[in-house]
Amino acid sequence: MFVDAVRALATLSVLTVHWLMADATWDGEHLRIGNALAHGAGWTVTWVLQVLALLFFAAGASATYGLRRGPDGGRSPGPAGAGRVVARPSVLADLAAGARLAGRRVPRLLRPVGVFVGAWAVAIGVLLAVGLPGDAVRSLATLAPQLLWFLAVYLGLVVLTPLLRRALHAAGWWTVGALAAAPLAVEALRFGAGLERLALVDVVLVWAVPYAIGLLYADARSGTRVVRRGRVVPVAVLPRPLALIGIGLAAAALAALLVVVGPYPVSLIGMPGDAMSNLGPPTAPVVLHAVALVALALAARGPLVRWADGRGRAVVAGLARRSMTVYLWHLTAMIVVVGTVLVVLGQQLPVPGSADWWASRPVWFGAFALVLLGISRVVGRFEDARPVRRASRRQRVGSGIE
């Protein structure tokens, strides 16, 4: 329930931060797309709601569960079960296992992504046919598909999952520390030696950190044991909540310090006018922010599990079934509403940060949510898995990792 709760809340946070960005003007010929959070202290919202790290953490935990399943969706007969000692296969065997895991993930991704891309291709043709200027259509066509980068990085990490687990089983939290240090070293070379293109590897390195913590968390919770230096030991010991809070606060403070003394913008997402973006590619503050988010989420595991098993049950279960649909289509829902107001009704949006803007957020969010719900009713079924056997209730609800 914990991993499912983290995924659900992270999905809602991503949706919220994107919907808060809504800012556009239309004069009948030219469409200008801005970012409402670029005004005033809007950047502070990004430090709370930019939670992609939690999605990668949940993905890592779920990938560990996936490795324990056989090709038919049942429990693998291998040595990865709870409380059993895990032997280290060869590197080639790890690569083959990663390819098989990705092969199970790809079909479930291709269906909703294919529908999304196809729908947008049709929409572009329709918008051009009704006379919307090409520049405006081009702006819209490059906005919504930007979300697909997450899936590309996710699949890359899925392929690397067995190799990451090998390293985690060998050294536990030391491996996580090394992974976190790697993008920091890349940043030093990027700015110290002018190797700007080297920063592209951080697209994988940065998000590998929360993903690896998810892998290690799932193995630790299941009681996985490994052989180190001739001794059978737990794969990792999870820190206590107070220690996790300390780690989270320290990582957040270091991220803030880097923003103050370094070349980084204050926003954790790209903003108009900034010389660079903290997400494209992800920077040192982002990896420290990722560590902070995951540590604080782990510290709050108890309350999150109680919420997910009580008042939040419907939210968690619903998003477990439709997280991909919500992720892919929430910007489209926003575009539909904003476009209707600007083009069809001929009205302008409130000035970002103004009293009218804040007062109207519930109305706008309600409209976005209604459109997203309607879209989900139509395309949500393409996210449904096609199991070869009847899954247990736990498998149907989510990852099954507590």
Peptide bond preceding 241 in cis form (omega within 30 of 0): no
pLDDT value, residue 133: 87
**What's the burial of 121, exposed, middle or buried (CB within 10 Å: 0-12/13-18/19+)?**
exposed
Tell me how far apart the alpha carbons of residues 80 and 286 are, in angstroms, rounded to a whole number. 32
- Sorting pLDDT into bands at 50, 70 and 90, what band is 228? confident
* Residue 232, phi then psi, degrees to nearest 5: -90, 120
The answer to whether 57 touches 210, Cβ cutoff 8 Å, is: yes
- Sorting pLDDT into bands at 50, 70 and 90, what band is 391? very low
Q: Has residue 67 got a pLDDT over 80?
A: no
Q: Has residue 64 got a pLDDT over 50?
A: yes
Instruction: Please provide the DSSP assignment of 221-242 as one string.
Output: HHT-EEEETTEEEES--PPPHH
pLDDT value, residue 159: 87
Q: Has residue 46 got a pLDDT over 90?
A: yes
Segment 16-45 shows an average pLDDT of: 90
Give, in order, the Cα–Cα distances in Å from 110 to each of 79, 113, 153, 324, 373.
31, 5, 15, 11, 21
pTM: 0.88
* Residue 302, phi then psi, degrees to nearest 5: -60, -55
- Sorting pLDDT into bands at 50, 70 and 90, what band is 287? very high
3-class SS of residue 243: helix
pLDDT value, residue 78: 41
- In SS3 terms, 106-130 reads as HHHHHHHHHHHHHHHHHHHHHHHHC
Strands 225-228 vs 31-33: parallel, antiparallel or unpaired: unpaired
Residue that wins the pLDDT comparison between 385 and 140? 140
Segment 3-19 shows an average pLDDT of: 95
The answer to whether 163 touches 94, Cβ cutoff 8 Å, is: yes
- Domain range annotation of the chain: 2-397
Lowest mean pLDDT among 29-43, 198-212, 376-390: 376-390
Q: Has residue 83 got a pLDDT over 60?
A: no
Q: Has residue 388 got a pLDDT over 60?
A: no
Average per-residue pLDDT for the chain = 86
Instruction: Choose among 183, 153, 169: nearest CA to 283.
Output: 183
Count other C-beta atoms under 10 Å from residue 6's C-beta.
Answer: 27
Sign of dihedral through CA atoms 367, 373, 379, 380?
positive
Give, in order, the Cα–Cα distances in Å from 389 to each of 60, 62, 74, 322, 386.
24, 19, 9, 21, 9
Q: Has residue 77 got a pLDDT over 50?
A: no
Which residue in this structure is represented by tokens 């044991």?
225
Helix axes 52-67, 149-171, angle to 10 degrees: 60
- Sorting pLDDT into bands at 50, 70 and 90, what band is 215? very high
